[in-house]
Amino acid sequence: MEILSQYHESIAIFIARTFLGCLFFFQGFDAVFKIKIRNVIETFRHDFANKGIPRFVTVIGSWYTSLTELICGAMLILGLFQYPALILLGLNLLMVAVAFGLNTAMWDTKYVLPRLILLLFLLIAPPAWDQWSLDVLIFNKF
C-alpha cells in the first residue's frame, strides 16, 4: 500500500495522459480512416459557407483537427513529446470551439469540456509527477 501512496501523482498523470490520448486518438482514427477527411469536410462545408467562411478554411481546419487528434493522441498514449502534443491539441480544441460556436450558438460541450479539463490538468501538473513516459525513458527529462 505504501508503494501506491508513494507514486499516486505518477499514477494520476499516467491515467489522465493515457485516457486523454485514447479519446483523441480514436476520434482522429475515425476521422482519418473510417469517416474519411473528405466526408468530415463535407459535413461542415455547407453550414460554414452559409456563414461566409471560405472552403479552404474548412478544408485546412478539417485536416488539422483530424491529423492532430490522431498523431498527438498517439503521442500522449506513448508519453512522447507530450508538451508539444498538448499544445497542438489545445489549439485543436480552440478551433473546435470556434467552429461549433459559429455553427450553433448554444452547442453541447459534453465531449469537449472533459478533454479541456484533462488537457489543462496535464499542462499545469508538475513535470516531476510524470515518471512513466517515453519522454522520461528516452530523454531522461524531468
pLDDT digits (tens, 9 = 90+) for 38-96: 999 999 999 999 999 999 999 999 999 999 999 999 999 999 999 999 999 999 999 99
Dihedral sign for Cα 57, 31, 36, 85, please.
positive
Q: What is the number of domains present in the chain? A: 1
d(C-alpha 22, C-alpha 13), whole Å: 14
Give the domain range for residue 91.
2-139
Sign of CA dihedral 9, 83, 37, 34: negative
- Rounded Cα–Cα distance for residues 32 and 41 (Å): 11
Enter the pTM of the model. 0.91
